């Protein structure tokens, strides 16, 4: 079963129902039930290999759940940050890459908004550089810039703070704070939000909402 559209709850934009995921006959997780409401901020936690990236991929729609369904509000605008920065990149240079999705959406001020985001993250000096001549932390910042520059209803971010220094982490937290969209962030640390979804290896999920 895949992602379906339309739900019956006004405050929730996304609902996971009895979700399960198997790889090569191994159950990664099963029986997940949770909702995400408009504007909500939720952390996704769990040990290495507990299935956080797999769950985010299913919620985004590029992985198919083995069981259950994800119901999403119609035409939900979703921003997705891959765990590996290089998976995020499309264009050859930093500025082109950050502007890419805005241009694809027909945004007239794409380059200006991309430049503003790079400035905000204090990486304007990298604008013209090749994405493949950056440090790991710089790549992470550029990948994040490309997602945070978008106006989305839901941001699914996989380990956004990996390799990022503490000063930039604070800047990113401020940007997140200003956004209207909901966030589901897979992380091993760096943020403390009231609501957490915790994946327990190969079994089930607990969250404060369940
Ligand atoms: N393509 C694949 N083929 C086989 N096994 C896979 C594949 N992708 C993921 N897995 C396995 O699925 C499990 C869940 O992986 P996933 O990346 O979702 O976990 P995670 O919680 O995000 O881990 P981490 O915190 O280390 O990033 C792991 O045991 C992993 O080895």
The CATH number fitting domain 12-198, selected from 3.30.565.10, 3.20.20.70, 3.40.50.300, 3.60.10.10: 3.40.50.300
Q: b/e map of 188-201 (b: 16 or more CB within 10 Å)? A: eebbeeeebbbbee
DSSP letter at 22 equals E
Q: Is the CB of 28 under 6 A from ligand 1?
A: yes
Name the residue at shortest CA distance from atom 9 of ligand 1: 54
- What's the token pair of residue 65? 């759940």
Is pLDDT above 90 for 8?
no
Q: Please give the residue that has the higher pLDDT: either 54 or 25.
A: 54
Q: Is the CB of 187 under 6 A from ligand 1?
A: no
* Residue entry with tokens 């949770």: 34
Distance 23 CA to ligand 1 centre (A): 9
Q: Is the CB of 53 under 6 A from ligand 1?
A: yes
Q: b/e map of 36-47 (b: 16 or more CB within 10 Å)? A: beeebbbbbbbe
Question: How much is the pLDDT for 186?
Answer: 97
| Cβ pair 89, 97 in contact under 8 A | yes
Ramachandran bin of 160, using left for φ above 0, alpha for ψ from -120 to 50, beta for the remaining angles: alpha
Interface predicted TM-score (ipTM): 0.96
The predicted-structure confidence for 79-98, as pLDDT tens digits, reads as follows 999 999 999 999 999 999 99
The predicted-structure confidence for 17-44, as pLDDT tens digits, reads as follows 999 999 998 999 999 999 999 999 999 9
- What's the token pair of residue 52? 């956080």
φ, ψ for residue 32 (rounded to 5)? Answer: -85, 130
Please report, for the chain, the start and end positions of each structural domain, with discontinuous segments joined by +: 12-198
Question: How much is the pLDDT for 4?
Answer: 41
Per-residue pLDDT band at 189 (split at 50, 70, 90): confident
Average of pLDDT values for 43-49? Answer: 94
* Distance, C-alpha 96 to centroid of its chain: 21
* In the chain, beta strands by DSSP E: 3-5, 12-23, 26-37, 41-46, 67-72, 78-81, 154-158, 182-186, 195-199, 205-207
Tell me the average pLDDT of the chain: 91
Distance 113 CA to ligand 1 centre (A): 35
In the chain, pLDDT over 70 holds for what percent of residues?
A: 91
């Amino acid at each position: 079963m895949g992602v379906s559209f339309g739900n019956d709850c006004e405050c929730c934009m996304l609902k996971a129902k009895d979700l399960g995921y198997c790889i090569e006959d191994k159950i990664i997780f099963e029986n997940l039930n949770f909702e995400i409401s408009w504007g909500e901020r939720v952390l996704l936690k769990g040990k290495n290999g507990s299935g956080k990236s797999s769950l985010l991929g299913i919620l985004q729609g590029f992985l198919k759940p083995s069981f259950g369904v994800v119901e999403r509000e119609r035409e939900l605008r979703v921003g997705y940050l891959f765990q590996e920065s290089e998976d995020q990149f499309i264009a050859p240079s930093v500025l082109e890459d950050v502007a890419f999705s805005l241009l694809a959406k027909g945004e007239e001020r794409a380059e200006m908004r991309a430049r503003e985001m790079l400035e905000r993250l204090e990486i304007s000096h990298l604008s013209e550089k090749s994405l493949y001549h950056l440090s790991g932390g710089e790549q992470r910042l550029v990948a994040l810039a490309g997602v945070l520059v978008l106006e989305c209803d839901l941001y699914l971010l996989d380990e956004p703070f990996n390799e990022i220094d503490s000063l930039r982490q604070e800047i990113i937290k401020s940007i997140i704070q200003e956004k209207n969209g909901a966030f589901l962030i897979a992380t091993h640390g760096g943020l403390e939000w009231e609501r957490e979804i915790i994946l327990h290896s190969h079994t089930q999920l607990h969250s404060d909402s369940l």
